């Protein structure tokens, strides 16, 4: 690979998903991206005010699809995580999300699964999956299990 090619398309693109608590939407999105990319994308997630644990309804909804996010823990958003990511996807973190020139930003407007049961979380999970598939296509990564 030439030096020029290395700068145009990262060999392994990296995506950071950010929401306030890093307990529901961003964790489901990270789980989907890890699962569907088969490791071809570096995945991070964080929150501006991380919760103590992942939303149990989000965990249950993802397990129904064969994606296990039980081992994940909410993490605090750092400038290093943003700087190390090619794409930053925000999900309702408002002004708490740092902005860096030269980064690709997307804001996914999604219902917040906090405090909701698994029946309410399933449509959010499914919408996130569809958006992750679109993101993979934009990154030029073929999904392994669509």
The CATH number assigned to the domain holding 79 equals: 3.40.50.2300
Tell me, yes or no, whether 38 lies in a domain.
Answer: yes
Which of 29, 97, 135, 136 is flagged as catalytic? 97
Which of 15, 18, 19, 54 is flagged as catalytic? 19
Check if 27 is active-site. Answer: no
Tell me, yes or no, whether 7 lies in a domain.
Answer: no
Check if 19 is active-site. Answer: yes
Number of domains observed in the structure of the chain: 1
- Give the three-class secondary structure for 84: coil
Tell me, yes or no, whether 144 lies in a domain.
Answer: no
83 touches 100 (CB < 8 A): yes
Tell me, yes or no, whether 88 lies in a domain.
Answer: yes
Greater confidence (3 vs 128) lies with: 128
Greater confidence (104 vs 5) lies with: 104
Range of the domain at 76: 12-139
Greater confidence (104 vs 28) lies with: 28
Q: What is the pTM of this model?
A: 0.89
Check if 52 is active-site. Answer: no
Tell me, yes or no, whether 20 lies in a domain.
Answer: yes
Residue 107 phi, psi (nearest 5): -115, 110
Tell me, yes or no, whether 2 lies in a domain.
Answer: no
Tell me, yes or no, whether 127 lies in a domain.
Answer: yes
């Amino acid at each position: 690979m030439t030096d020029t090619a290395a700068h145009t398309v990262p060999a392994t693109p990296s995506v950071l998903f950010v929401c306030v608590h890093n307990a529901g939407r961003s964790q489901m999105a990270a789980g989907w991206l890890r699962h569907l990319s088969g490791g071809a994308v570096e995945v991070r997630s964080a929150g501006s005010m991380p919760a103590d644990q992942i939303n149990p309804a989000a965990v249950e909804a993802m397990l129904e699809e064969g994606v296990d996010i039980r081992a994940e823990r909410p993490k605090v958003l750092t400038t290093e995580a943003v700087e190390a990511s090619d794409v930053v996807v925000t999900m309702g973190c408002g002004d708490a999300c740092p902005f860096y020139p030269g980064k690709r930003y997307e804001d996914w407007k999604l219902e917040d699964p906090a405090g909701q049961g698994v029946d309410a979380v399933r449509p959010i999970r499914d919408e996130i999956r569809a958006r992750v598939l679109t993101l993979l296509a934009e990154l030029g990564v073929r999904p392994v299990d669509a």
